[in-house]
Structure 1
């Protein structure tokens, strides 16, 4: 196999009532001819959006190069071992390789061998579509062929999390088919499905139901059957066959999760945070395929509960990977009890997915607001993957916080990291029959056809460190369409939009898309300048004086180990050290304190929330 070094690749790489009845009836509501719902907004293809120089492109390129350079034999080794085939290559170690040391929860080495293979395959398939990289496409197809030779029921014998791992495998194979044009991927998926089905329960199980079953050790109670429907529905939509829709319906966790959510009951507290947010994507796909409004309500209500009752000022959620009871004060208490505040690559990946889904059907800009908050304050600050599988896992919001790698190699967040960075482009823009929606203000170029006219929009910006973005148009010929600009809910009254240097005389409403419809021509320029106020956000209602300082979408972190005392006025008078800087200065009782963005923090100690007089 030809090996491509990361260094050479980096140099050359381009670029709420009645829900229960509807939930139960949705399963047989529509024939298999197609989806019942067409969202009002659609995603662009991966190749339609090109990231330009900036932190998102840098992060995407690093992840693309990292996984392109990983040895195929190492990735395939656990599958070959279980199949009794020759298994050359070094063990990857950590969670990824079989190990006699596995003794949960004391020793997680060998936890779920091969678990993240499907995610790595998915990330590479998406990257191949983003870049058009032939070596990446070829690697995806080699891995599919190599995996195909290993598929056997033997793999899942005495395996603690069959649903968890197969769901990732499913995702990787359908993405290999869809985004890397792999001709064998769906046939391999059908074979892999046959292999895992004897090891899956008859329905999605709650954690309590799993604990009540006989189990070898505690790890066998942690499987996530309730996340399976999303990728089963996607497999059906992408042509894998009708059984995938039936499997999706079989594993919908309606009784214990989606039914109460659809009726407005918050059943999140006490649940595993990432997997239960991720399961909301299954509810959405059920809505898309079957037209079940109750499943849409479940997805929407569940996500709203996360945004409004579980989230830190960063947009992150789930301290110790657990949703907390509203009104308990446990979010604020976590600042002194844990350093595992937000499961970052996994949480950000799931957050972006469900936000994209809900934005597509609603056109509601608040979902974009939540995406940019998570982007700038969590995932863009993730430490890079290391060659030995060291992975950034938790963002730390403790009163004495730092950035650190997870203690185990190749954990789950090593798989979602390349997936979310490959998704940055498709998260930035949406389109409708009427035009293009600008969701994220990031350096990028989007290309599409509007009424047959080839159009492109190039966005240049250093947002949010600078409060402006400019968008330049190129068109084959003049064309009438709509450009919709997301105006964040935090935007102040001074926010304004100009076209070719002239201010647009329309009211701008924060928390909505600003629509401009006109006949556009090449070299037209749209400029938006945001009024970015300083704000203070309490960690929860039970701790009203424990406050995070925010500027626009950015949460600002105090740097150092001791800060003196702040009052509200001092924090609200924070001053950016220079135009476009990532640093602010704030006066405290003991002098000036540096505040900065999460992405700018390296090895320093920091604190997100300040206890204010």
Structure 2
């Protein structure tokens, strides 16, 4: 097998062509599952997939248009100001703005100057391959050149979050190198690393721990423990020359207080900042994939199970950005106390990366189930990023009525609404962290649906799309069609340059009892192993696979201590009740919910009919995520 990598391979295949090949050539792909003795599944490239889902495409176009609308001078302004250079152009404000007099107690702008720059360069590079738009590639490369003129330790010294910003710059430069063909990106990265080193702690420092004296508490919110993921990834790109980045990644693994106890099965999630510590689990996964550490794989697997046990029905987690101690009841209590239930674009980005890594390494379909749940019920329903920087930050699951309202139905409608309803709203902050992760997570829709290994294609997400790849001497194009999850059927149609044999691995969600599969109209055996069913045959042009994933309503309780408070599930989606008054309903009536039209359901509750919709259809209506199920 040749490991020669052409420019065309880089621009079309992205991570699968460059990172995967470099790992094997350099002998660094140590991550091998000890039980199966196989390497992790390969990611497909951004350019190998064409998505056709209107919802997914609309999110990509929204993010692309906002990023294109920001001027180079505006994006470089905080860098230039922080190193004492002239800074022409428009100051876009918000968190992105640099203010030397920033006071976290009273100022709404200036918290994290330039922090999203690297994420936006990353997103532009990913989108350039997805769309084939050369101007996006050129923009990413040009921004890196302009940023390179500002590289200075002074920038990191003035920065509340030197590790956080360094991490995002690593990601942007890495993606520009592998996807946009930026030949200077790795040199710029090395200059950045040397400039940052004097202002980094040298090892993982937990959040809220003081490591720079004489600073206010906001300077303890840095996230050095998330650094290893991208450091490992860029080291893999560089092959043998990446040893200094692999060593640095190892220095910042949060072992003593996080990964070591997690690997032993000790739940230490309680009281930790939700997004960043879940994101840190992606570092554990790269410590396994690149560094070969079984301990870190075990830590990530254990932590995922712990996280799932405190997740909402949507798959979201971390009310008020905090993970909770098992048995504390605080996740349930948050339904009545908080509207900040899940940090949506950031949390979804971390969650979907983590489940992608876990699925690739374990071949366990439950991680795909979790990814699908988070996609449909959280980030795919995020409000569009606005050109002025207003972003959708939190999903709101504020839906449990207070005890007095539940006991007294005569309470006013207004008080009930205040007690129980959620809504989709923009954050008060402009250009917050979620404005950086949203463009990245929507671009990653293109690489989350399929995975590869020699002789097998794994289908993870059921989204209308076309995948192109080679199997031996054959060129293959597979089109996925259907209206899943609105309907249960998925169709996979093959085009091949010549008949060729390989295994098609189809994820069968855990809720899909009675799933069936037909090949060219004939029933085929379906047996799911670890959540995937296998069809092995010699494929020809015109072959069609029809997968049916039966959906029926089910009830999902958040907290076993409160079995009456539950969400209504249908297939992979939560059905949100369009109501502000508390909804009290019998279990039988929940399970008898009927589809009332395209994308809408109806059920009969104690005080009348209630309509329900998926999160992607909520719009500006108020809703309940959780209802009261009795009897």
**CA distance in structure 2 between the aligned counterparts of 1:368 and 1:263, rounded to whole angstroms:** 25
**CA distance in structure 1 between the aligned counterparts of 2:458 and 2:323, rounded to whole angstroms:** 32
1:570 positional shift: 1.3
Counterpart contact for 2:528–2:534, Cα < 8 Å = no
**CA distance in structure 1 between the aligned counterparts of 2:491 and 2:379, rounded to whole angstroms:** 24
1:562 positional shift: 1.7
Match in the other structure for 2:227 = 228
Higher mean C-alpha displacement, 166-175 vs 60-69 = 60-69
Asked whether 1:303 is paired with 2:297, we answer: no
Match in the other structure for 1:520 = 539
DSSP 3-state at the match of 1:536: strand
Match in the other structure for 1:384 = 384
Higher mean C-alpha displacement, 283-292 vs 386-395 = 283-292
- Tell me the alpha carbon deviations over residues 532-574 of structure 1, each in whole angstroms, 9 at most, x when there is no partner: 1211011112211101000011101011212552111111111
Counterpart contact for 2:31–2:293, Cα < 8 Å = no
Match in the other structure for 1:7 = none
**CA distance in structure 2 between the aligned counterparts of 1:40 and 1:524, rounded to whole angstroms:** 28
Match in the other structure for 2:579 = 560
**CA distance in structure 2 between the aligned counterparts of 1:261 and 1:465, rounded to whole angstroms:** 38
Counterpart contact for 1:32–1:242, Cα < 8 Å = no
**CA distance in structure 1 between the aligned counterparts of 2:100 and 2:307, rounded to whole angstroms:** 38
Match in the other structure for 2:492 = 471
Match in the other structure for 2:600 = 583
Higher mean C-alpha displacement, 394-403 vs 155-164 = 155-164
- Tell me the alpha carbon deviations over residues 36-80 of structure 1, each in whole angstroms, 9 at most, x when there is no partner: 236341110111111114211221122122212321111111111
Tell me how large the CA RMSD over aligned residues is.
1.6
DSSP 3-state at the match of 1:327: coil
Asked whether 1:83 is paired with 2:83, we answer: yes
1:416 positional shift: 0.5
1:212 positional shift: 6.8
**CA distance in structure 2 between the aligned counterparts of 1:145 and 1:586, rounded to whole angstroms:** 58
**CA distance in structure 1 between the aligned counterparts of 2:583 and 2:235, rounded to whole angstroms:** 58
Alignment match of 2:520 (pick from 500, 517, 537): 500
Q: Indicate how the Cα distance of structure 1 residues 79 and 212 shifts in structure 2: closer, same or farther if over 3 A, else same.
A: closer
Asked whether 1:36 is paired with 2:56, we answer: no
Question: Where do 1:114-513 residues align within 5 Å?
Answer: 114-208=114-208, 210-211=209-210, 214-239=213-238, 241-307=242-308, 309-399=309-399, 400-493=421-514, 495-504=515-524, 506-509=525-528, 512-513=531-532
Q: Indicate how the Cα distance of structure 1 residues 207 and 451 shifts in structure 2: closer, same or farther if over 3 A, else same.
A: same
**CA distance in structure 2 between the aligned counterparts of 1:481 and 1:383, rounded to whole angstroms:** 40
Counterpart contact for 2:466–2:479, Cα < 8 Å = yes
Higher mean C-alpha displacement, 361-370 vs 54-63 = 54-63
**CA distance in structure 2 between the aligned counterparts of 1:603 and 1:465, rounded to whole angstroms:** 21
Counterpart contact for 2:526–2:534, Cα < 8 Å = no
DSSP 3-state at the match of 2:576: strand
Match in the other structure for 2:406 = none
Counterpart contact for 1:327–1:541, Cα < 8 Å = no
- Tell me the alpha carbon deviations over residues 507-556 of structure 1, each in whole angstroms, 9 at most, x when there is no partner: 43486101000011001100111111211011112211101000011101
DSSP 3-state at the match of 2:480: strand
Counterpart contact for 2:585–2:605, Cα < 8 Å = yes
**CA distance in structure 1 between the aligned counterparts of 2:56 and 2:583, rounded to whole angstroms:** 35
| Structure 1 residue runs without a partner (length 5+) | 1-29
Counterpart contact for 1:167–1:231, Cα < 8 Å = yes
Count matched residues: 578
1:242 positional shift: 2.1
Higher mean C-alpha displacement, 210-219 vs 590-599 = 210-219
DSSP 3-state at the match of 2:151: coil
Counterpart contact for 2:390–2:427, Cα < 8 Å = yes
1:413 positional shift: 0.4
Counterpart contact for 1:564–1:589, Cα < 8 Å = yes
**CA distance in structure 1 between the aligned counterparts of 2:60 and 2:462, rounded to whole angstroms:** 17
**CA distance in structure 2 between the aligned counterparts of 1:385 and 1:125, rounded to whole angstroms:** 19
DSSP 3-state at the match of 1:290: coil
1:486 positional shift: 0.3
1:364 positional shift: 0.5
1:463 positional shift: 0.9
Match in the other structure for 1:602 = 619
Match in the other structure for 2:110 = 110
Match in the other structure for 2:21 = none
Counterpart contact for 1:491–1:510, Cα < 8 Å = no
- Tell me the alpha carbon deviations over residues 300-343 of structure 1, each in whole angstroms, 9 at most, x when there is no partner: 11112112x22100000000111111212111110001000000
**CA distance in structure 2 between the aligned counterparts of 1:403 and 1:180, rounded to whole angstroms:** 35
Match in the other structure for 1:25 = none
DSSP 3-state at the match of 1:566: strand
1:207 positional shift: 2.6
**CA distance in structure 1 between the aligned counterparts of 2:471 and 2:526, rounded to whole angstroms:** 26
With normalisation by structure 1, the TM-score equals 0.92
- Tell me the alpha carbon deviations over residues 382-414 of structure 1, each in whole angstroms, 9 at most, x when there is no partner: 000111100001000002100011111000000
Q: Indicate how the Cα distance of structure 1 residues 196 and 213 shifts in structure 2: closer, same or farther if over 3 A, else same.
A: closer
| Structure 2 residue runs without a partner (length 5+) | 1-23, 33-38, 400-420
